[in-house]
Amino acid sequence: MTLRQVEVLMGQGMPRIDAIRQIGVTEQTYYSWKKKCGGMGTEQLKELKRLQKENERLRRAVSDLTLDKLILSEAARGNF
């Protein structure tokens, strides 16, 4: 994980800001990630990512169903 890369680079003597730049994110992004995921283990991060993917899939499904409902409502009123 990217947070781990920063820790490794810092362990090799690289200043934190340089390590953050090397992984290609802003300081703000790094600290946001660290706040969100810093204390999590590998399994917890995998579960978080799995749940985020599932959440996105469910959001798309709800969006699709909402659109279908609107189309059917319009068709039932004869607006097509």
Q: Where are the domains of the chain?
A: 1-39, 40-80
Residue keyed to tokens 């090799």: 12
- Is the pLDDT score of 80 beyond 60? no
pLDDT recorded at residue 35 = 84
Q: Report which DSSP code applies to 41.
A: -
Cβ atoms of residues 6 and 23 within 8 Å = yes
The model's pLDDT over 17-59, given as tens digits with 9 standing for 90+, comes to 999 999 999 999 988 888 887 777 778 878 888 999 999 999 9
The predicted model scores a pTM of: 0.49
Tokens for 15, please give them: 């200043």
